Structure 1
Amino acid sequence: MFFGSGTNNDINISVRELKEKIDKGEDFILLDVREPQEYNFSRIKEKDAMLVPLMRLPTVLDKLPKDKPIYVLCRSGNRSLQATIWLLQKGYKNVKNVDGGILAWSQEIDPSVPQY
């Protein structure tokens, strides 16, 4: 069901770009595809995320709006890239992978966020 490898800059957003969008108050969905224990351990404090573990993503497809940008997050950017590619294949147009995931967020934006 999920596939794809490599990175494509057209479908990635950096953690710095994401932080700018949060700071500007832009309206978007932050979709976190990690497991609940990962989310509970470390998360972006400035923006509530919609937590949907990767393998459960098909079960919530009808709950994801197509009229808002969706930025997909995981630990390192691998699961979120798979989810991003899958959502694009399902007809979502404005979906981007958060490059580097929560690890990059912790390293580049907020060192107080623990690395899982």
Structure 2
Amino acid sequence: MFGRNQVPVVGASEVPASAYLLDVREDDEWVAGHAPDAHHMPMHTVPARLDEIPADGDVVVVCRAGGRSAQVVAYLQATGRDNVRNLAGGMMAWAQAGRPMVSEDGGAPQVA
């Protein structure tokens, strides 16, 4: 994007199984469907919960389409984290790639 710093990205099919997947979507989006091993932390809570995010190992940040998660990656980089990447295309790309999803409401998982 013109005039913005680029953040590192990873494709949905390239996310390592060992990565800490940080889902920064809102509660209703999380309930509708998310990756089975993801950690939910709505975007607005990240600054207060920074210590919960691993400083080592791969951290992949995800939202619905990649915009909010890119902002979180940029924020984390500004705090000195160099182990964070944005999930390109967000949960929409995750679902399109056929990656596993679960829901919290008992329904079929979907990207909301």
Q: TM-score, normalised by structure 2?
A: 0.81
2:67 maps to which of 60, 78, 85:
78
Structure-1 residue corresponding to 2:38 = 49
| Counterparts of 1:99 and 1:7, CA distance in 2 | 15
C-alpha deviation, 1:77, in angstroms = 0.4
Q: Is the 8 A contact 1:106 1:113 kept in 2?
A: no
| Counterparts of 1:93 and 1:73, CA distance in 2 | 16
Q: Is the 8 A contact 1:103 1:115 kept in 2?
A: yes
C-alpha deviation, 1:108, in angstroms = 2.1
C-alpha deviation, 1:6, in angstroms = 5.4
Q: Is the 8 A contact 2:29 2:111 kept in 1?
A: no
Structure-2 residue corresponding to 1:58 = 47
Matching of residue 33 in structure 1 with residue 24 in structure 2: yes
1:14 maps to which of 11, 29, 47:
11
Give the counterpart letter for 2:89 in structure 1: G
Deviations 1:67-92 (A, max 9, x none): 12110010000000000010001000
Unaligned runs of 5+ in 1: none
Give the counterpart letter for 1:115 in structure 2: V
Q: Is the 8 A contact 1:15 1:109 kept in 2?
A: no
Number of corresponding residues = 103
| Counterparts of 1:103 and 1:69, CA distance in 2 | 21
Query: Percent of pairs identical after alignment?
Result: 33
Q: Which structure dedicates a bigger proportion of its chain to helix?
A: 1
Give the counterpart letter for 2:111 in structure 1: Q
Alignment RMSD: 2.1
C-alpha deviation, 1:7, in angstroms = 7.4
C-alpha deviation, 1:98, in angstroms = 0.3
Give the counterpart letter for 1:64 in structure 2: I
Q: TM-score, normalised by structure 1?
A: 0.79
Deviations 1:52-74 (A, max 9, x none): 11011001112222112110010
